Structure 1
Amino acid sequence: MPMPEVIMATRFRIPFLPRWTALVALGCALLGMGAVAQAEPLVVRIGFASVGVDNRQFAGGSSVAVAHAEGYLEKAFKDDPDVRFEWYFFKGAGPAVNEAIANGQLDFAIQGDLPSVIGRANGLKTKILMASGAHAPTYLAVPEGSTLSTVKELKGKKVAIFRGTNNHLAVVKVLAANGLSERDLQVLNMDNATTNSALASKDIDGAFGNWPLISLHLANRAKIIYSTKGDDPAFERHSMVLVTEAFESAHPETVQKIITEFVRAARWSSEPANFDQVVAIWARSGTPEAVFRYDFADTDVRYRNSPIVDPFLVEQYRFQARQAKEFALVRRDVDVRGWFEPKYVDSAIKSLGLEGYWTRYDSKGKPLGS
């Protein structure tokens, strides 16, 4: 009775191979399979610390949101089948993004300053690459018909704050400037949807936040009584693009190409002539165009959409880190040294011929060279 391998050889008309030759062939086949596995596409996972209305997978208010909605990365990498992108949007904002980074589920994130500081305090290994959605204001809204008109009048009142977001630290600083702290208020930790509902039903006396409050204000369901716009620049909220140290170390060329496309989107978004198109793109998130127009009114769109990591932003993060510790938002000191890596955005600005297009500011907020 012939051996099984002889039958197989006869069936496929392949000459009988000695056992050692077959083992070598098997080994080569396995090596080949390993090579195929190594050639699998690089999946770049990018997360926004926000989500559109009714869970729409779009964001607004930043140049990276434009890059996502208009497919900048997909177009730039269309001839590179080994790289593809996955975009994620988090209802839980910055804290949820931190959790995803900690669990190894994201490579890049567009996240606010305080959540980033908290993440660094908790040991997340990231690098800040560029600004996107920086210099943003915070608003205080009260129910329609409320007699409250100033921040100081919030003492003892029920006030909603979305803790852990980049609104949070801005609010803490605004309260301090008005002789108050969170302990002087009945603070309720609420996300945007819950806050809107509570304001509309008059179950709270006030709320700090951003675009959702503008929506209520424009619908006459609440009224904005204070904005950090035009106030102390230290009250501004900042968002940045972060990358995990592991991804940046393993794929620096991919990081550069991604940041170059983000800078390209920032340049287009910074042109006043494009503003109508920009807000139309942001409105895909479900937030009305009128909200973004209200938010950007009386501000320089080039200032708001600048991707530059300059001394002012670095100093703001250093200051935010110190104040986060002072206000017990983090338990340990946060060292920002080595956190910022502006070489990618600087290289992109140079390659795109955009030197001097955006103003750089010194640590005190004054234009460099002025």
Structure 2
Amino acid sequence: MILIKRRLSVLALALLASLPFSQAAAAADQPTVIRIGSPELGTGDKGFSGANPLSVVRARGWLEEEFRKDNIQVEWTFFRGAGPAVNEALAAKQLDVVFLGDLASVIGRSRGLPTRLIAVTGRGSNSYLATAPGLTLNRFADLKGRKVAVLKGTAYQRPFDNLLAEAGLTEKDLRLVNMDWPTAKAAVLNKDVDATFGGADLHQLQAKGVGLPFNTKGKGPAFTIHAATLATDDFIRKYPEVTTRLVKQLVRASAWASDEANRQPLLALWGEASGQGPAVFTSEFEGEDLRLRHSPLIDEAALVAYKGVAADALKLGLIKTSVDVDAWVAPQFVAEAVRQLKLDKFWPELDANGKARR
């Protein structure tokens, strides 16, 4: 068996050596497949990463189009277990590129997952508390003693814990149930739990009597969510040019999603891609500046946001070791994509206070 493997290796090397230099270099510098992972936020059999530019890229088939001429396949996997499941797949070396909310990516980094943050893929997302039909809550503190579903290890856990702290509570004051999002939605609808905490897709349940009494809109950075695209160190080291091309399609989608003229087509695209309809996302983005929500830049504001998540995660006991955000990010890919697409002045670069630099 060892002899056979050696012969195959020799044959493979001989074949590579027989190619013209440019072809041999291309074969060595390109993967056969790019394995992309994301939390599952769609309905039914719809694979959907959420209301972000990555969903635009997938719906439009831009990565497949970009890499078709090189015979590079693009493989999408959506995880019902969300961030924790994506991190497990990363640890098992089953993924090359992932989309994750801020807390899940920070948790993975703190546990030694060899990733780099290569593009911001969503800023300032809000969260919502959904309550079972017939249940009235006047204050967030009224959750005390109640059965509440939260998917731990995801970006929603941090704003939820901060809302509890603001109300003078901790997770220990509730009967907290760790439950994935589809199961949690069914549970709150059936009154198996008193409430669940999650994203804009909870608006779907209002027509069935579920209430949405509290959300994080306008509450500031400690209560909103950033998301990013990460790539493994191994993938970036082996395929820097492919990484730039991938990020270029993300930046292209970010520009399209940032254009106010595309607001209705964007909502319609997300509604179709998710199987949830555009109305689910209308409230989330009402009054929001699309250009600020979809800037891919790894600017100072993004760094501050992730540092805040890392600090809160440590304080709340969600991670045990601190995360050096400055050493984690790899802004060169977005910078090059922005240059190639001539979008240098399209997004304002934000300072630590979220204000545009002059």
Instruction: State whether TM-score is above 0.5.
Output: yes
Cα distance, 1:79–1:202 mapped onto 2, change above 3 Å: same
Report deviation, 1:145. Answer: 2.0
Taking the aligned partners of 1:138 and 1:122, their CA distance within structure 2 comes to 26
Cα distance, 1:137–1:30 mapped onto 2, change above 3 Å: closer
Taking the aligned partners of 2:9 and 2:327, their CA distance within structure 1 comes to 45
Taking the aligned partners of 1:313 and 1:49, their CA distance within structure 2 comes to 21
Taking the aligned partners of 2:75 and 2:210, their CA distance within structure 1 comes to 37
Asked whether the 8 Å contact 1:59–1:282 carries over to 2, the reply is no
Taking the aligned partners of 2:254 and 2:96, their CA distance within structure 1 comes to 21
Moved more, 26-35 or 269-278: 26-35
Cα distance, 1:286–1:332 mapped onto 2, change above 3 Å: same
Asked whether the 8 Å contact 1:142–1:223 carries over to 2, the reply is yes
Taking the aligned partners of 1:258 and 1:266, their CA distance within structure 2 comes to 13
Cα distance, 1:32–1:278 mapped onto 2, change above 3 Å: same
Taking the aligned partners of 1:322 and 1:120, their CA distance within structure 2 comes to 13
Taking the aligned partners of 2:196 and 2:12, their CA distance within structure 1 comes to 61
Query: Structure 1 counterpart of 2:84, which letter?
Result: P
Asked whether the 8 Å contact 1:58–1:69 carries over to 2, the reply is no
- Could you tell me which residue of structure 1 aligns to residue 253 of structure 2? 265
Moved more, 188-197 or 144-153: 144-153
Asked whether the 8 Å contact 2:145–2:175 carries over to 1, the reply is yes
Asked whether the 8 Å contact 1:192–1:212 carries over to 2, the reply is no
* 2:185 is the counterpart of 1:196: yes
Report deviation, 1:359. Answer: 2.4
Taking the aligned partners of 1:368 and 1:293, their CA distance within structure 2 comes to 29
Asked whether the 8 Å contact 2:40–2:82 carries over to 1, the reply is yes
* 2:14 is the counterpart of 1:32: yes
- Could you tell me which residue of structure 2 aligns to residue 5 of structure 1? none
Query: Structure 2 counterpart of 1:64, which letter?
Result: L
Query: Structure 1 counterpart of 2:257, which letter?
Result: S
* 2:195 is the counterpart of 1:242: no
Asked whether the 8 Å contact 2:31–2:239 carries over to 1, the reply is no
- Taking only the aligned residue pairs, the percentage that are identical comes to 39
In the TM superposition, what are the counterparts of 1:1-370 in structure 2 within 5 Å? 31-33=13-15, 39=27, 42-81=32-71, 83-217=72-206, 219-283=207-271, 284-369=273-358
- Could you tell me which residue of structure 1 aligns to residue 3 of structure 2? none
What's the secondary structure of 1:135's corresponding residue?
strand
Q: Which entry has the higher C-alpha Rg, 1 or 2? A: 1
What's the secondary structure of 2:160's corresponding residue?
helix
Report deviation, 1:51. Answer: 4.3
What's the secondary structure of 1:55's corresponding residue?
coil
What's the secondary structure of 1:166's corresponding residue?
coil
For structure 2, list consecutive stretches of 5 or more residues without a partner in the other structure: 1-7
Report deviation, 1:36. Answer: 8.8
Cα distance, 1:212–1:32 mapped onto 2, change above 3 Å: same
What's the secondary structure of 2:122's corresponding residue?
coil
Taking the aligned partners of 1:291 and 1:202, their CA distance within structure 2 comes to 22
Taking the aligned partners of 2:300 and 2:256, their CA distance within structure 1 comes to 24
Deviations 1:130-189 (A, max 9, x none): 111221001112122222132122122211111111111111112212222111222111
What's the secondary structure of 1:96's corresponding residue?
helix
What's the secondary structure of 1:109's corresponding residue?
strand
Taking the aligned partners of 1:138 and 1:362, their CA distance within structure 2 comes to 24
Report deviation, 1:286. Answer: 1.2
- Could you tell me which residue of structure 2 aligns to residue 16 of structure 1? none
Taking the aligned partners of 1:233 and 1:329, their CA distance within structure 2 comes to 18
Deviations 1:247-285 (A, max 9, x none): 101111111111011100110111121122222222222
Cα distance, 1:156–1:53 mapped onto 2, change above 3 Å: same
- Could you tell me which residue of structure 1 aligns to residue 5 of structure 2? none
CA RMSD between the two structures: 2.2
Report deviation, 1:59. Answer: 3.2
Asked whether the 8 Å contact 2:130–2:196 carries over to 1, the reply is yes
Query: Structure 2 counterpart of 1:72, which letter?
Result: W
Number of residue pairs the alignment of both structures matches: 342
Moved more, 90-99 or 55-64: 55-64
Cα distance, 1:355–1:53 mapped onto 2, change above 3 Å: same
| TM-score normalised by structure 1 residue count | 0.87
Taking the aligned partners of 2:79 and 2:299, their CA distance within structure 1 comes to 28
Report deviation, 1:234. Answer: 2.2
Asked whether the 8 Å contact 2:151–2:179 carries over to 1, the reply is yes
Deviations 1:20-45 (A, max 9, x none): xxxxxx99856435669984952111
Asked whether the 8 Å contact 2:124–2:293 carries over to 1, the reply is yes
